[in-house]
């Protein structure tokens, strides 16, 4: 529809993903959740933090972003 500034919203349907992790990684994630609580004063379960952690990791990987968006590597 012409004249609207806001583009169509992306699909926001949640997708469930099950993974198996090592005990060491589970401890580290629990420690991170505790660190988060200390910093922000709000407790969030690991399962709520992990999607945001993964998104931040992927957003911060410049090489992956370059490949994902089809831009050639500059020399």
Number of compact structural domains in the chain: 1
Q: For residue 33, count other CB atoms closer than 10 A to its CB.
A: 18
Is residue 53's pLDDT more than 70?
Answer: yes
Q: Is residue 14 part of a domain?
A: no
60 in any annotated domain: yes
The answer to the question of residue 75 being in a domain is: no
User: What does pTM read for this prediction?
Assistant: 0.75
Look at residue 69 in the predicted model and tell me its pLDDT.
86
Assigned domain for 13 exists:
no
Q: Where are the alpha helices (DSSP H) in the chain?
A: 23-40, 46-60, 62-68
Over 80: is that where the pLDDT of 1 sits?
Answer: no
Residue 10 in domain: no
């Amino acid at each position: 529809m012409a004249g609207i500034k806001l583009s169509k919203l992306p699909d926001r349907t949640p997708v469930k993903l099950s993974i198996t992790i090592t005990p060491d990684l589970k401890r580290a994630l629990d420690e991170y959740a505790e660190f988060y609580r200390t910093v922000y004063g709000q407790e969030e379960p690991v399962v709520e933090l992990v999607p945001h952690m993964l998104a931040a990791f992927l957003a911060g990987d410049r090489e992956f972003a370059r490949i994902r968006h089809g831009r050639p590597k500059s020399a």
